[in-house]
Amino acid sequence: MPLALQGKVAVITGSTVGIGKAGAIGFAREGAKVVVSGRSRQRGEEVVDAIKKQGGEASFITADMLAVADIERLIKKAVAAYDRLDIFWHNAGIVGPDNVEDITEEIYDNMMAVHLKAAVFGAKFAVPEIRRAGGGSILFTGSIAGLKQASYSMTYSLAKSGLVMLARKLAVDLARDNIRVNCICPGRVETERRVAIAGQKAQELGITKEEWVKRDIQRIPLGRYVTEQEVISAALFLVSDKASSITGVALPIDGGFLAV
């Protein structure tokens, strides 16, 4: 059976760790040439090594999503390396404080820049290249925080909800170019970051990490966190030809959290 992304070139922002790293490895396993990106060269090169060890093709390009010039350079260098671009997945993300009183102008600006501004400018630079390749896919990593008011950082929720609307808007505008644009909205995913958050929250409440996780997953109908691989399966589906008629959607991957 042919691989789902054979011959495709994919740029994935925020792929030095976590969901993006798993995505880079997963996309490469499906035949894509993957451009791994983030600020940490060391971690990025480790991802590239892991892909090459499994027989895949990848390279690392450092880029800070706070800098539009870096985003433009990322796309240009990716196309210079592989001659085309089929998939742009903006996955980089940060977390912020929960309360309005704790917001500073810098926190607000960074949150909007890393998630939303980088998505807009990433699309701006990626679209002409994907069009030149005859069409392809743009994917954003949103969050259930962008779909439902829950206990998430205010600025994070605002930025993630913006990605849902951006995906819809671009899906309509770019449909004639055969460019599909979608947003994945993970719930709580079992990542290094999740483990760190669990430790911090448990400490604040004076309980063990295990006890905090037990309480936390009670709100999820499937009774567990989502795995990185489950997020990657959805991402892979949406960028592949298997989803050739799907554009403008915000797909929750949340163990049923939004259904409650």
Stretch touching ligand NAP by CB under 6 A, among 8-16, 51-59, 126-134, 232-240: 8-16
Out of 61, 139, 179, 189, the residue judged to bind ligand NAP by CB under 6 A:
189
Q: How far is the CB of 121 from ligand NAP (least distance, A)?
A: 12
Query: Between 34 and 92, whose beta carbon lies closer to ligand NAP?
Result: 92
Instruction: Indicate whether 43 belongs to the interface with ligand NAP (CB under 6 A).
Output: yes
Q: How far is the CB of 152 from ligand NAP (least distance, A)?
A: 9
Q: How far is the CB of 38 from ligand NAP (least distance, A)?
A: 3
| Edge-to-edge strands, sheet with 57-62 | 57-62, 33-38, 9-13, 87-90, 136-141, 179-186, 250-253
Q: Count Cβ atoms below 10 Å from residue 132 Cβ, excluding itself.
A: 14
Q: How far apart, in whole angstroms, are the C-alpha atoms of residue 107 and residue 161?
A: 17
Q: What value does the CA radius of gyration of the chain take, rounded to a whole number of Å?
A: 18
Active-site annotation holds for 152 = no
Report yes or no: 251 and 185 within 8 Å, Cβ to Cβ: yes
Out of 4, 12, 32, 38, the residue judged to bind ligand NAP by CB under 6 A:
38
Count how many Cα atoms sit within 13 Å of the Cα of residue 7 in the half-sphere of its side chain.
4
Instruction: Indicate whether 18 belongs to the interface with ligand NAP (CB under 6 A).
Output: yes
| Phi (first) and psi of residue 60, to 5 degrees | -105, 135
Look at residue 211 and give its three-state secondary structure: helix
Instruction: Indicate whether 23 belongs to the interface with ligand NAP (CB under 6 A).
Output: no
Residues within window 208-237 making contact with ligand NAP, judged by CB under 6 A: none
Stretch touching ligand NAP by CB under 6 A, among 45-53, 64-72, 130-138, 165-173: 64-72
Query: Kindly report the CA angle at 96 between 92 and 98, in degrees rounded to 5?
Result: 140
Instruction: Indicate whether 93 belongs to the interface with ligand NAP (CB under 6 A).
Output: yes
Q: How far apart, in whole angstroms, are the C-alpha atoms of residue 144 and residue 147?
A: 5
Q: How far is the CB of 231 from ligand NAP (least distance, A)?
A: 8
User: What dihedral angle (degrees, nearest 10) is formed by the CA atoms of 2, 4, 6, 7?
Assistant: 140
Instruction: Indicate whether 46 belongs to the interface with ligand NAP (CB under 6 A).
Output: no
Q: How far apart, in whole angstroms, are the C-alpha atoms of residue 260 and residue 248?
A: 24
Which pair of structure tokens corresponds to residue 102? Answer: 């704790």
Number of residues that bind ligand NAP (CB under 6 A): 30
Write the single-letter amino acid at 34: V
Instruction: Indicate whether 138 belongs to the interface with ligand NAP (CB under 6 A).
Output: no
Can you give the binding site for ligand NAP, defined by CB under 6 A? Answer: 13-20, 38-40, 43, 63-66, 91-94, 114, 141, 143, 186, 188-189, 191-194
Q: Which residues are catalytic?
A: 156
